[in-house]
Amino acid sequence: MSSSCMEETSIRNNQWYRIISELLLKADIKINGSRPFDIQVNNPHFFKRVLQHGSLGLGESYMDGWWDCPRLDIFFQQILRAGLDKSTPTHWRDLLRVASARMTNLQSKRRAWVVGKKHYDLGNDLFSLILDPYMQYSCGYWKNAETLEQAQLAKLKLICEKLQLQSGMTLLDIGCGWGGLSVYAAKNYGVSVQGVTISREQQKLAQKRCAGLEVEILLQDYRDLNNQYDRVVSVGMFEHVGPKNYQTYFNVVARNLKSDGLFLLHTIGSKQTKANVDAWTNKYIFPNGCLPSVANIASSSEKLFVIEDLHNFGADYDLTLMAWYQRFIQGWNQIADHYDERFKRMFSYYLNACAGAFRARDIQLWQIMFSPSGVNGGLRVPR
């Protein structure tokens, strides 16, 4: 028997291998199989690392090149559809993190800036490469779209029409990113916009993009806002607020919205109420993040607002993420001098894992319309 065959036999007899192999078969995934969603293991220590460290071990071992998979998006779709995320043992560090999230305000004013520095300040060259011309780092609306740019323009139009923007109105954009929505609303609806972000890189580029328009981009925490606006919008920011601050968040919106105003919340959401996010995502992508549930949103807003409409188009995030991934891979050589191969694997893993999660309908995307006291006759919104 050759040394390679002996090594293969030794791996197969390993208890760690057997456990992982049996788990993956529940999702119809084979180790070293021939299908694009099967995994190719490059390091025999992979199995023990995943079982000992769970999600973190799976993601970090991929970043380290210990395993590969041509279609990570399908791999994660099948993993989640089979419920394997609930089958693997929970590591003690995960338990500590959950306990910490329940006892500590991980999204306090001091901590809130961490995600800006860790993720949104990665580099405008990176985000300019993968995003559309309006720099929308949130789910596009693919109802009638065929390209990323069309989907993001459709999303911007959908938001503005749901808010019933009219010339002369004031709009507060909480978590304005690179200013894409602020620019679009000011140009196409004649509104005056004030946007806030906790990312210096975002503010820098947003101010440049908004030059000459009635748009002001502020670098500040949302909790310091104290003004009156006709409309309030928040796109892809609520995921960073955290359970201990949900009530404060809605108090801030209520404080800043006129009595006859409208508020649109665009957020990724969890099917179930949880205190934390995936361990790997928390460490490498969105530190201190937490996906809200419908129950979180309803209980935190019920004394302040009427929910006029809830629109779920989470399946569209799958298309958005895969479009970003395609642009990332196609344009990698343009930014390769600024990022290493491990970063490339990390970012690829992130985009594909998220795409698979949305495709499996494990996580959702909601646009929720609120009014302070209820709109007479109800609110008719576009779809």
| Distance of alpha carbon 133 from alpha carbon 130, whole angstroms | 10
Contacts of 278 by beta carbon, 8 Å cutoff, 6+ apart: 55
Residues 182, 210: contact at Cβ < 8 Å?
A: yes
CA 134/CA 126 separation, integer angstroms: 14
Name the catalytic one among 139, 160, 210, 354: 354
Q: Which residues contact 34 (CB under 8 A, 6 or more apart)?
A: none
**Which residues have CB under 8 Å from 372's CB, separation 6+?**
254, 257, 259, 260, 261, 304, 305, 306
Query: Distance (Å, rounded) from C-alpha 371 to C-alpha 259?
Result: 8
Nearest C-alpha neighbor of 234 from the set 286, 186, 175, 294:
175
User: Catalytic: 160?
Assistant: no
By DSSP bridging, strand 229-235 and strand 257-270 are: parallel
Classified as helix, coil or strand, 58 is helix
For helices 294-301 and 246-256, what crossing angle results, to 10°?
50
Concatenate the DSSP letters of all residues of 187-245 into one string: HHH--EEEEEES-HHHHHHHHHHTTTSSEEEEES-GGG----EEEEEEES-GGGT-GGG
- Write out the catalytic residue numbers: 354
